[in-house]
């Protein structure tokens, strides 16, 4: 079931899947709602998922950028309002994890439990993106998407998974201007000094083979967010819902169902 929320005049599309307690799902740069792949299939067996197309991709509007993580968080609130959900657990990955941090800081009453996957607190005191990431992002801007996807997965991930992700991305392709607007939100994000305000019970998940965002940011987030804990997935890459979908879904479901 697909619906559209209004976020200050910007149309934000989202899909509702499954049945159970509501879980808002926020994906990262270059990925729409379908980018959760097989992990969403597993989670939809236990929860009602609100799978968001961030502004700039999928069926959502792509207004001129640059975007900010705060805007993406406001878009998420618009989705909750449109869905009639007062409070939801929130799962955010990569850029979606940055938006989820903003959501938990600025709209704490809307967030139950919080899962931050493969993300960073941002700013100069976080562990910076590896040099390879900058080169890969430049490659995406030049159309080298296959290499970007392959390098975002853990070692040994079958080529068939790369093909499936590329198919999903082809079906939700975004204009390069919108991709750059989303990328600007990642580059400008810095919640380091504000994370102490997060009251939601928080789990941080990261693959220890992530070559896109340094996995040491997981421990940093867990230290900065009161009561948070971090869990590393051995051999997991940046796209944990694809290279370790069962493990990712089990960790998330176990935490949310406590």
pLDDT for the residue 139: 55
Split into its structural domains, the chain has a count of 1
Distance CA 68, CA 73 (A): 9
What are the helix and strand counts (H, E) for the chain?
10, 8
User: What backbone torsions phi and psi does residue 95 show, to the nearest 5 degrees?
Assistant: -60, -35
Residue 201: HSE in the Cβ half-sphere, 13 Å Cα cutoff: 9
Contact 4, 12 (CB under 8 A): yes
Q: What is the DSSP string of 28-47?
A: -TT--GGGGHHHHHHHTTTS
Please give the pLDDT value at position 90.
99
Backbone CA torsion sign across 148, 151, 152, 158: positive
Which residues span the domain enclosing 159? 2-256
Q: What pLDDT, on a 0 to 100 scale, did the predictor assign at position 173?
A: 85
- The predicted model scores a pTM of 0.96
- Contact by Cβ (8 Å): 54, 60: yes
Q: What are phi and psi of 14, to 5 degrees?
A: -150, 155
Q: How far apart are CA 87 and CA 85, in angstroms?
A: 6
The pLDDT, as a whole number, for residue 146 is 87
Length of the chain: 258
Q: Per-residue pLDDT tens for 119-167?
A: 999 999 999 988 767 666 665 555 678 888 998 999 999 999 999 999 9
Residue 28's CB: how many other CB atoms inside 10 A?
25
CA 39 – CA 241 distance, rounded (Å): 5
Domain of residue 175, CATH code: 3.40.50.1820
Return the structure tokens found at 48.
Answer: 């009602």
Q: List the chain pLDDT tens, one digit each, 258 residues.
A: 689 999 999 999 999 999 999 999 999 999 999 999 999 999 999 999 999 999 999 999 999 999 999 999 999 999 999 999 999 999 999 999 999 999 999 999 999 999 999 999 999 999 998 876 766 666 555 567 888 899 899 999 999 999 999 999 999 989 999 999 999 999 999 999 999 999 999 999 999 999 999 999 999 999 999 999 999 999 999 999 999 999 999 999 999 998
């Amino acid at each position: 079931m697909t619906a559209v929320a209004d976020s200050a005049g910007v149309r934000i599309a989202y899909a509702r899947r499954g049945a159970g307690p509501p879980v808002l799902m926020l994906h990262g740069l270059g990925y729409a709602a379908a980018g959760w792949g097989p992990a969403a299939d597993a989670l939809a067996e236990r929860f009602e998922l609100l799978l968001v197309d961030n502004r700039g991709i999928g069926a959502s509007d792509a207004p001129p950028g640059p975007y900010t993580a705060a805007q993406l968080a406001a878009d998420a609130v618009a989705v909750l309002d449109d869905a009639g959900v007062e409070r939801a657990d929130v799962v955010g990955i990569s850029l979606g994890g940055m938006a989820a941090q903003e959501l938990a800081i600025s709209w704490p009453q809307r967030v139950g439990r919080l899962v931050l996957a493969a993300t960073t607190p941002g700013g100069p005191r976080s562990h910076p993106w590896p040099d390879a990431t900058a080169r890969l992002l430049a490659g995406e801007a030049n159309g080298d998407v296959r290499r970007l996807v392959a390098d975002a997965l853990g070692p040994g991930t079958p080529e068939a998974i790369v093909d499936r992700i590329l198919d999903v991305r082809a079906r939700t392709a975004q204009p390069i201007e919108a991709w750059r607007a989303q990328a600007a939100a990642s580059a400008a994000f810095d919640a380091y000094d504000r994370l102490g305000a997060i009251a939601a019970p928080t789990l941080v998940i990261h693959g220890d083979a992530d070559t896109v965002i340094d996995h040491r940011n997981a421990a940093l987030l867990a230290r900065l967010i009161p009561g948070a804990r971090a869990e590393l997935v051995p051999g997991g890459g940046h796209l944990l819902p694809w290279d370790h979908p069962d493990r990712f879904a089990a960790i998330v479901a176990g935490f949310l169902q406590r």
